[in-house]
Structures are given as C-alpha cells and as structure tokens.
C-alpha cells in the first residue's frame, strides 16, 4: 500500500490566525476601519465552541475574530486568564480526519480525535498545546465547494 499524498506533507498552508476578543463589534472597528480588512459574511455562531466568529481578509490572508457566546465558552476562560490576543493558528489540511489519525500515529496529543464542525462549513480539530510548545493549533479542512 502506498502512503496517501495527504499524509506526507500533512499541513498545506496557514488557514487563519484566530484572535480572541471581548466584544466582536468593538474589535471589528479596528480591523475593518483602521486596518482596512474586509469582512467575509456575517458574524457566525459556532455552537460546538460556543463562540461568535467574524472572518476577515487582508488580501488572501485570513484572520478570525472570536468572541465568547456564553460564559462557559472556552474563549471566556482564555480571556479571563490572559485577556484578548492571539488564540490559535490554523493549518489547512486536505482531510482533517486523516490528519488527526496521522498525528496520533506520530504520537502527537490531540484535543479532538474526531473531526468537529467549524465555522463556514469547515471540519476542524485542535492539537493539544502541550504537544506544540504552548501554541494552540487547529487543523482545518475547507467545506466542499457548493455545486
């Protein structure tokens, strides 16, 4: 059996940087106003993470502003402990479940061992920050193109 191509490189490129914010509507004034980034669509509630997400683009580069949607959101704990700031970096993969399985096979600790629904129809999984020197990393598989 040959190794699938997705498992050799695993990570394709940077998908987005996520920034935790207390109040999305306040933060977007900086990103859309002063920095001149473009919002892509409306604020989206992601029930799995209990967050509201706004996707912004600077050229082709993507930033996601993430606001807690409830007190028990993982982002609420992050903000309480560290204040606003960079929350995670997300890597694009072709097949998130295959990437999870490959990382587990390589001994990398995962927060999610199965693919989770992310924003904008993506499938995602988080790598445990203990396995990455403290950087929270997300794996993202884009939604299949609409047809």
Q: How far is the CB of 65 from Co ion (least distance, A)?
A: 11
Q: How far is the CB of 140 from Co ion (least distance, A)?
A: 7
**C-beta separation of 124 from 136 below 8 A:** no
Closer residue to Co ion (CB): 20 or 102 = 20
The DSSP bridge partners found for residue 131 are none
Closer residue to Co ion (CB): 102 or 127 = 127
Q: How far is the CB of 127 from Co ion (least distance, A)?
A: 12
**C-beta separation of 125 from 111 below 8 A:** yes
Closer residue to Co ion (CB): 118 or 147 = 118
- Give dist(CA 76, CA 66) in Å, integer: 10
Closer residue to Co ion (CB): 107 or 134 = 134
Q: Which of 143, 112, 138 is nearest to 18 (CA)?
A: 138
Number of other CB atoms surrounding residue 55 within 10 Å: 20
Q: How far is the CB of 17 from Co ion (least distance, A)?
A: 8
Binding residues for Co ion (CB under 5 A): 18, 90, 138
- Which residues does 50 contact at the CB level (< 8 Å), separation at least 6? 68, 69, 70, 72, 73, 74, 75
């Amino acid at each position: 059996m040959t190794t699938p191509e997705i498992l050799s490189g695993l990570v394709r490129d940077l998908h987005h940087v996520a920034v935790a914010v207390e109040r999305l509507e306040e933060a977007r004034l900086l990103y859309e106003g002063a920095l001149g980034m473009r919002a892509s669509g409306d604020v989206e509630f992601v029930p799995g993470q209990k967050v509201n997400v706004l996707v912004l683009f600077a050229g082709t580069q993507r930033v996601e502003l993430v606001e807690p949607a409830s007190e028990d959101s993982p982002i609420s704990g992050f903000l309480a402990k560290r204040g606003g700031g960079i929350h995670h970096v997300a890597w694009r993969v072709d097949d998130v479940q295959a990437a999870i399985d490959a990382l587990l096979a390589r001994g990398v600790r995962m927060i999610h061992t199965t693919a989770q629904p992310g924003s904008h129809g993506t499938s995602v999984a988080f790598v445990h920050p203990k396995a990455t020197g403290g950087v929270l990393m997300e794996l993202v598989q884009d939604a299949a193109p609409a047809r």
